[in-house]
Amino acid sequence: MTELTLDQANALIAAVLAEAARLDLPPIAVAVLDNGGHLKALQRQDGLSFLRADICQAKAWGALALGTDTRDLAERFARDLQQQGFMQALNAMSSGRIVPLPGGVLIRDDGGRIVGAIGVAGARSEQDEACALAAVRGLGLRAGHD
């Protein structure tokens, strides 16, 4: 596979929403971006604040921009002041499009090539990430560092 299709993006979103329902999470937003960082699909559940749609896109975009899941970005940010400064500089350079919190996960094909990213926002960051991972793996794709 060389390209993430709209059908796959919609299936990923449906899988995230199903996992969130299974975990009884609050309303969430899910964005799927292609490997160029362009929005492929987005859904925001009823009752969710409007900013979560931007946050889930920023999680996915940050993962793509730096080639790693946003859990790694969060760990780098927490490491020391130099890493915090680096993340803040990246955010300034990208007009605030990077959110260094878990919930942004790279999507890889069978060959390990990055075909996109998924971002989830609305629950605790670890829960957002768990939903994204379950969706990607459930569709037979590879997630982040798999």
Stretch 4-16: mean pLDDT: 97
CA angle 33, 34, 36 (to 5 degrees): 110
pLDDT in the model for residue 96: 83
Q: Residue 15: CB partners within 8 Å, gap ≥ 6?
A: 134, 135, 138, 139
Most confident of the ranges 51-65, 71-85, 90-104: 51-65
Work out how many domains the chain is built from and give that number: 1
Residue 55 is assigned to a structural domain of this protein: yes
- The token duo for 24 is 């009884």
Least confident of 31-40, 75-84, 99-108: 75-84
The reply to whether 94 falls in a domain is yes
pLDDT in tens, 51-64: 999 999 999 999 99
Q: Give a yes or no: residue 124 inside a domain.
A: yes
- Over the chain, what is the mean pLDDT? 94
Residue 1 has pLDDT above 70, yes or no: no
CA nearest 27: which of 42, 48, 56, 13?
A: 48
Distance between CA atoms of 36 and 62, rounded to whole angstroms?
12
Q: Which domain holds residue 62?
A: 6-143
Residue 1 lies in a domain: no
Residue 131: CATH number of its domain: 3.30.450.150
69 assigned to some structural domain: yes
In a domain, 15, yes or no: yes
Instruction: Count the Cβ atoms, other than its own, within 10 Å of residue 143.
Output: 21
Whether residue 92 is contained in a domain is answered as yes
Q: What is the pTM of this model?
A: 0.93
